[in-house]
Amino acid sequence: MDAVELKSLACGYGADFVGIVDLASLRGIRTEPADLLSGYKRAISIGIRLSDGVIDPIVDSPTPLYQQHYLRVNDRLDDIAIRVSQYLQKSGTKALPIPASQLLDMKNWTSYISHKAVAIAAGIGWQGKSLLVVNPECGPRLRLVTVLTDADLEPDKPIKNRCGKCLACAEACPATAIKGENTDSHFKDRDEALYFQRCVDKVVGDFAKRPFIEKPICGVCIRACPWGVKKRKSKPRIGTGKGK
């Protein structure tokens, strides 16, 4: 199986974006457990574009519609990751689907691996000032999942940061948590980009306590990004094996 075939398969299962990372390029990344990547060669990053109809009405706080959309898209991503893994396994290669949203460390808000870091290395988007993955077609209006595999798939390349002088996410943030710093590739840690605790305090201490939200979600920096509203059209990216 080659990378184009694998991407086409994932898009057939409902993915909008698929990119492949050589795990050598993620050396040193924090994982849980520490040897999570051992025995694997590649990570497959899979994204689903969020609905503009759900994101557009967000102003300064999450909506009940966004809460449901967030949960259902995560379910869908998990389903795609499982199906891709089944296919890889049947083809005789190892595969591990990493859940789309399962926190393992509630203090540091970390999971098995950062889906964002994988997606950035896979060329699905660049790391915005908000820390979100910003895709040229839909901005940060996407959610992500990862599959690890030992299949020898051709990796993609990261894309250049295009935030420029924009500060829309920082200006919109209801917690003034986004510092407005930029990065050529990716931030060394999230504290470079965010006053992270301010974001946590807002989503946990305020939004998660609101009726019909009940989850630590926000959506404001997703809504604010101009890259999410400039480009409305999104075709399934079955890819050529190269980053854009």
Q: Which residues bind ligand SF4 (CB under 6 A)?
A: 128-130, 134, 163, 166-169, 173-175, 177-178, 199, 202-203, 218, 220-221, 224-227
Dihedral over Cα of 178, 181, 187, 189: its sign: negative
Ordered DSSP codes for 58-81? -SSS--HHHHHHHHHHHHHHHHHH
Q: Which is nearer to ligand SF4, 5 or 60 (CB)?
A: 60
Shortest Cβ 26–ligand SF4 spacing (Å):
22
Q: Name residue 143's amino acid.
A: R
Query: What is residue 111's three-state secondary structure?
Result: coil
Q: Kindly tell me which of 148 and 224 has the beta carbon lying closer to ligand SF4.
A: 224
Asked if residues 80 and 189 have their Cβ atoms less than 8 Å apart, the reply is: no
Task: Compute the least distance from the CB of residue 224 to ligand SF4, in Å.
Answer: 5
As measured in angstroms, the least distance from the Cβ of 160 to ligand SF4 is 12
Choice between 114 and 130, CB closer to ligand SF4:
130
Nearer to ligand SF4, 199 or 238 (CB): 199
Q: What is the DSSP string of 6-40?
A: HHHHHHHTT-SEEEEEEGGGGTT---SSTTTTTT-
Least spacing, CB of residue 216 vs ligand SF4, in Å:
9
Q: What torsion, rounded to 10 degrees, do the Cα atoms 96, 20, 48, 5 define?
A: -90
Nearest to 15 by CA among 106, 95, 76: 76
Kindly state the smallest distance separating residue 209's Cβ from ligand SF4, in Å.
14
At closest approach, how far in Å is the CB of 12 from ligand SF4? 30
Q: Which is nearer to ligand SF4, 97 or 128 (CB)?
A: 128
Give the span between the Cα atoms of 18 and 119, in whole angstroms. Answer: 9
**Which residue minimizes CB distance to ligand SF4?**
128
Residue whose CB is less far from ligand SF4, 21 or 203: 203
Question: 116 is written with which tokens?
Answer: 């964002």
